[in-house]
Amino acid sequence: MKVSFEDAVAITDLIARYCYYVDFGFADEWASLFTEDGEMLGLGGDLKGHQQLRKLPIMAVKTNNGTSRHQLTNLVLDYGVTKDEVRMHCSGLMTRWDNGGGLINFAEYDSQLVRVDGAWKLKKHVVNLMPARTAPLPL
């Protein structure tokens, strides 16, 4: 079942903060978007819990000299068993804006969100990196 307008706006805000916090290295703020036992899977080194999750924004800023930007888009949101659970599918771009800019990767996300004390949190966030295409699509 499709989520309410209010829940969609709240989750869209969470995702905007997710991108902003990871891009600018706000480790504690980024980790706080997840439940205490929240997981991020699929990047090679799975992360679980705030202590591990907070490492990702720091590493991302250091690796890309603070020039990477995330954009998650095409959010598809449906309630789970109750209206305190949401399944989210979306697409994401990661770009880098030094040396002329360019695409770092493209991913599909499959996530479970839960309502905790009235706020939406990521419980399980699975990142599926798409393989790079080096040749044009045949038409």
Question: Any idea what the CATH number is for the domain that residue 75 is in?
Answer: 3.10.450.50
Mean pLDDT on 102-129: 95
Whether 137 is covered by a domain: the verdict is no
Q: Is 135 within the bounds of a domain?
A: no
Question: Does some domain include residue 58?
Answer: yes
Given a cut of 90, is residue 64 above it in pLDDT?
no
> If you average pLDDT over residues 42-58, what whole number do you get?
93
CA distance 84 to 34: 15
Q: How many whole angstroms separate alpha carbon 127 and alpha carbon 12?
A: 18
Is 117 contained in some domain? yes
Instruction: Tell whether 136 is covered by a domain.
Output: no
Pick 4 or 102 by higher pLDDT: 4
For residue 96, what are the domain limits?
Answer: 5-129
Task: Kindly give, in sequence order, each residue whose CB lies less than 8 Å from that of residue 131, ignoring residues fewer than 6 positions away.
Answer: none
- Reference 122, options 66, 62, 47, 68; nearest CA is 47
Classify residue 90: in a domain, yes or no: yes
Task: Give residue 100's pLDDT.
Answer: 83
Total tally of structural domains belonging to the chain: 1
Q: Does any domain span residue 139?
A: no
Lowest mean pLDDT among 33-42, 64-73, 77-86, 130-139: 130-139
Helix H or strand E segment including 51: helix 49-53
**Token pair for 8:** 């969609």
